Amino acid sequence: MLRVRVNAAGVIGFCCLAVGCGAAPADEGETILAAEQGIIVMNGLDPAYFWEPSTQQALRALARAPLADAMRGPGAAVLLSKREGRHLLERVVACALPGGASLETSSGPSFVGSIGLAPRWSSAPLSDAAARRWMTACLLQSLNATGAHVAVRMTGGHPALADAPDSEAAEYTVRDAIMFGDLFDQVRPTAFACADNALVDACGVALSARTIERICGQSRSCGITVLGHCDAVCDRDRAGAPTCGAGRAVYPESIASRLEPLVALSAGGLSCGVLDLLSGLL
């Protein structure tokens, strides 16, 4: 299993990138994803469960078959046995299939599509590298170890991530993080993140310990590689869609997240002086 690797000058406690400080946990039956006028995601997947080797193996098992068949197979059965796994399957289907599509499982529950980043997976294995990467970025953006479900806007170069002209997504103005990688690669799965927040720019720091907290939590097998500030590893096109790199690999299938200003400030408004102090302690 991959390990957490940090590529930055310092690790600091920067709460905005936790995307969940001060928000209440969602109930069991709460809808966790909506893609109506803008791609607004309620994150909250449990990183401790997500990064378990058995969970990652189950995800890769799903990719080896058409999703309609995989939802009735052994990989789905492993996930369906736990509440966290059912939430993960819900997010897999929501990320992969467009609104109006749904898939049933062998044990009864059905899950509905929402975004449509990998629609062909419904009837064919997830063998296309681009589709695997879009799915990876969507799932990574769904993680939140704080126990809260917080709304974030997802943006990227995929047509399914486009906002309607009158979208409420315009209210999500605070940059958060960019995620990319390929967790569905059967040989060498990868996962990357970078910090993309304006307060990071203002305080002259490259990385947040809260970024790792959000996507890793207490997991001992977390597979994320945090690459520091997004400006160092990502370019944006005229529409703002990111393309990020890690080593020699380039990922046009990168997804950025944005927060509403009040959510970004809910951590308590840490000053640059406090950030500098925390940076010196870590």
Tens of pLDDT, residues 135-188: 999 999 988 877 667 788 889 999 999 876 656 767 887 888 899 999 999 999
Q: Judge whether residue 230 has pLDDT over 50.
A: yes
pLDDT for 27 equals 42
Q: What is the pLDDT of residues 90-132, one digit of tens each?
A: 999 999 999 889 898 877 778 999 999 999 999 999 999 999 9
pLDDT for 38 equals 57
Q: Bigger pLDDT: 63 or 208?
A: 63
pLDDT for 100 equals 87
**CB neighbours (10 Å) of residue 150?**
24
Calpha distance 182→75 (Å, rounded): 18
Could you give the number of structural domains in the chain? 1
Q: What is the pLDDT of residues 45-103, one digit of tens each?
A: 888 899 999 999 999 999 999 999 999 888 888 899 899 999 999 999 999 999 889 89
For 201, the token pair is 């720019």
Of 161-165, 236-240, 266-270, the one with minimum mean pLDDT is: 266-270
Calpha distance 266→187 (Å, rounded): 40
pLDDT for 129 equals 97
* Beta-bridge partner residues of 179: 193, 255
* Beta-bridge partner residues of 5: 225
For 106, the token pair is 């062998």
Query: What does pTM read for this prediction?
Result: 0.81
pLDDT for 113 equals 92
For 85, the token pair is 């796994």
Q: How far is CA 203 from the centre of its chain?
A: 25
The residues, ordered by sequence, that sit 6+ positions from 64 with a Cβ below 8 Å of its Cβ are: 70, 125, 126, 186
Calpha distance 123→66 (Å, rounded): 5
Please report which confidence band the pLDDT of residue 264 belongs to, taking 50, 70 and 90 as the band edges: low
Whole domain around residue 114: which residue ranges? Answer: 5-281
pLDDT for 174 equals 81
